[in-house]
């Protein structure tokens, strides 16, 4: 049997108009401590965004989603967090915030392949 490790994940939500509270999923962040792995994948449904807010800043939302992916990837794209270990970057990303792009609640699961899990969850919960 393949060894499976515990992983945590959170959806990345877009809340175009905070006062209305409407949101939709635009990405997923996966963290697996045992594999020292953190990654995010995003997919913005522009039609959905503009249906909820015709004046939405599409480029700004895309930039915020890219920033989430960059922070997970580490290196130059992570800015000041470049040297932080994956768990610290994950915890920073899942901290509650009142912005257009927000993390959802954290969930857990078991996986043998965290990278495949990111893609599976993106397909299942976002696309």
* Token pair in block for residue 2: 């393949």
Q: Is 36 exposed, middle or buried (0-12, 13-18, 19+ CB in 10 A)?
A: exposed
* Token pair in block for residue 80: 């000041």
Kind plus residue range of the DSSP H or E element containing 104? strand 101-111
Pairing of strands 101-111, 37-42: unpaired
Range of the domain at 88: 5-125
How many domains does one find in the chain?
1
Write down the pLDDT at residue 80.
Answer: 74
Write down the pLDDT at residue 78.
Answer: 66
Count CB-CB contacts under 10 A for residue 65: 20
Helix axes 86-94, 58-73, angle to 10 degrees: 150
Give the Cα-Cα-Cα angle 19, 20, 26 (nearest 5 degrees): 105
**Percentage of residues in the chain with pLDDT exceeding 90?**
76
Mean predicted confidence (pLDDT) in 10-28: 94
Write down the pLDDT at residue 84.
Answer: 81
pLDDT 10s digits, 73-97: 877 776 777 778 899 899 989 998 8
Question: Any bridge partners for residue 9, and if so which?
Answer: 30, 107
pTM of the predicted protein model:
0.92
Q: How many CA atoms lie within 13 A of 34 on its CB side?
A: 12
């Amino acid at each position: 049997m393949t060894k499976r490790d515990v992983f945590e994940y959170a959806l990345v939500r877009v809340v175009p108009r905070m006062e209305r509270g409407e949101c939709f999923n635009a990405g997923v962040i996966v963290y697996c401590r045992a594999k020292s792995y953190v990654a995010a994948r995003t997919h913005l449904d522009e039609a959905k965004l503009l249906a909820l807010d015709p004046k939405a800043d599409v480029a700004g939302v895309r930039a915020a989603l890219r920033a989430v992916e960059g922070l997970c990837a580490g290196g130059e794209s992570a800015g000041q967090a470049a040297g932080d270990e994956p768990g610290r970057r994950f915890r920073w990303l899942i901290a509650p915030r009142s912005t257009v792009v927000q993390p959802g609640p954290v969930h857990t699961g078991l996986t043998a392949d965290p990278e495949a899990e990111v893609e599976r969850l993106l397909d299942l919960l976002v696309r």
